[in-house]
């Protein structure tokens, strides 16, 4: 299928071998982070040398090639996207695709620590919604799970985002024994504050210090427990991401469940992920990847880059097969979530 971009050049649209249109690009703009969440990173992480990262201009160039090929939604993530130096320059540049109408949404997933500084400029650049990760409202537990985070700082950031006019969705990873009895508090807080909430199952990505079987909490169990207290109505709503949503009737807010382990969501997958070094992963749970940095760097025009993107989409696999049980304690893929971006 062909389409025309704003410049009038024909660009092949992105359809994978299973007929799924790729319309959603997640971009990890840095593998670095100011926190060390237990399920995401090891305490003592080795980060990439800065010289290996795509420049902001190169990130813009790859993202723009995807936009010309029909991608409608871009999510910046990481690591922590707001610790990448001059990240606002990238956000402002990508904002031009919102203004031209080629892109429907530019958004980001953040841990919230930098939001008091960035919320307003993000809104001004065209961002309208953000996801903020908060696993617990207990300050001590928050500090323990993130190994260094200050809950008050994050809550002040979320408040600044709300005041700036940004829509907010809270992400919480469901962790057995850590926050499993706090979902009622999170639902109540989100209801009172006007935020949606998504619960996420831990995914077996990258070596961490602990044992993942100790962390894994199936969301089917969480949902059954929540249904004893709250009235949950299934919704048809699809945010373009992998979550299944219900409405919590008592608060009127949406509650999402991302269940890569207990329910595989691959059949509707419209996403690919770009790392900060220019590697494209066609599936979060598989190791196959395509290098876009080389074809981009060898020529000034985008012909080779676009050909590499087409070739990669032609290899998008049908799905992943994450398993966490006593026999499969190691990671399903060796890279951390902070490399590919959550």
Residues 73 and 240: beta-carbon distance below 8 Å: yes
Residue 78 binding ligand SF4, by CB under 6 A: yes
Within residues 56-85, the interface with ligand SAM by CB under 6 A covers 77-78, 80
d(CA 309, CA 342): 21
Q: Give the chain's count of helices (H) and strands (E).
A: 11, 14
Residues in contact with 3: Cβ distance below 8 Å, sequence separation at least 6, in sequence order = 10, 11, 13, 69, 70
**Choice from 30, 64, 107, 109 touching ligand SAM (CB under 6 A):** 109
Binding partner of residue 130 among ligand SF4, ligand SAM, none, CB cut-off 5 to 8 Å per kind: none
Point out which residues pair with 193 in neighbouring strands: none
Comparing CB distances to ligand SF4, the nearer of 134 and 283 is: 134
**Choice from 30, 38, 39, 186 touching ligand SAM (CB under 6 A):** 39
Stretch that binds ligand SF4, among 18-26, 78-86, 91-99, 237-245 (CB under 6 A): 78-86
Applying CB under 6 A, the site for ligand SAM has a residue count of 19
Q: At what angle are helices 115-124 and 151-164 packed, to 10 degrees?
A: 20
Residue 149 binding ligand SAM, by CB under 6 A: no
Residue 200 binding ligand SAM, by CB under 6 A: yes
Residue 112 binding ligand SF4, by CB under 6 A: no
Residues in contact with 50: Cβ distance below 8 Å, sequence separation at least 6, in sequence order = none
**Choice from 91, 125, 161, 205 touching ligand SAM (CB under 6 A):** 205
CB of 202 to ligand SF4, least distance (A): 11
d(CA 97, CA 192): 34
d(CA 166, CA 176): 31
CB of 296 to ligand SF4, least distance (A): 25
Q: Please provide residue 43's backbone torsions phi and psi, each rounded to the nearest 5 degrees.
A: -60, -40
Comparing CB distances to ligand SAM, the nearer of 200 and 305 is: 200
Residues in contact with 87: Cβ distance below 8 Å, sequence separation at least 6, in sequence order = 29, 56, 76, 81
**Choice from 14, 22, 29, 37 touching ligand SF4 (CB under 6 A):** 37
**Choice from 27, 40, 187, 203 touching ligand SF4 (CB under 6 A):** 40
Query: Contact residues for ligand SF4 (CB under 6 A)?
Result: 33, 35-37, 40-41, 78-80, 111, 133, 338
């Amino acid at each position: 299928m062909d389409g025309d971009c704003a410049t009038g050049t024909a660009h092949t649209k992105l359809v994978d071998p299973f007929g799924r249109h790729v319309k959603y690009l997640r971009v990890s703009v840095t593998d670095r982070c100011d926190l060390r969440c237990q399920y995401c990173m090891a305490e003592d992480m080795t980060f990439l040398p800065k010289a290996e990262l795509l420049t902001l201009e190169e990130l813009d160039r790859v993202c723009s090639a995807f936009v010309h090929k029909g991608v409608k939604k871009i999510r910046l993530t990481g690591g922590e996207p707001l610790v990448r130096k001059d990240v606002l320059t990238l956000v402002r540049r990508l904002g031009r695709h919102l203004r031209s109408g080629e892109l429907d949404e530019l958004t980001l997933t953040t841990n919230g620590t930098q939001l008091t500084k960035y919320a307003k400029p993000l809104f001004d650049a065209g961002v309208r919604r953000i996801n903020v990760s908060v696993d617990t409202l207990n300050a001590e537990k928050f500090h323990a799970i993130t190994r260094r985070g200050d809950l008050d700082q994050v809550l002040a950031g979320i408040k600044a985002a709300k005041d700036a006019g940004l829509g907010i969705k809270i992400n919480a990873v469901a962790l057995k024994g850590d926050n499993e009895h706090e979902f009622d508090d999170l639902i109540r807080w989100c209801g009172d504050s006007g935020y949606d909430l998504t619960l996420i199952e831990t995914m077996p990505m990258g070596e961490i210090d602990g044992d993942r079987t100790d962390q894994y909490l199936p969301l089917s169990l969480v949902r059954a427990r929540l249904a004893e207290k709250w009235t949950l109505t299934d919704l048809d709503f699809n945010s373009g991401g992998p979550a299944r949503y219900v409405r919590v009737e008592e608060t009127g807010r949406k509650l999402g469940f991302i269940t890569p382990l207990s329910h595989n969501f691959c059949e509707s997958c419209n996403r690919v992920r770009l790392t900060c070094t220019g590697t494209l992963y066609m599936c979060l749970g598989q190791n196959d990847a395509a290098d876009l940095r080389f074809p981009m760097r060898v020529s000034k025009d985008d012909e080779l880059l676009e050909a590499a993107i087409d070739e990669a989409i032609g290899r998008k696999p049908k799905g992943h097969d994450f398993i966490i049980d006593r026999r499969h304690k190691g990671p399903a893929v060796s890279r951390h979530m902070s490399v590919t971006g959550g």
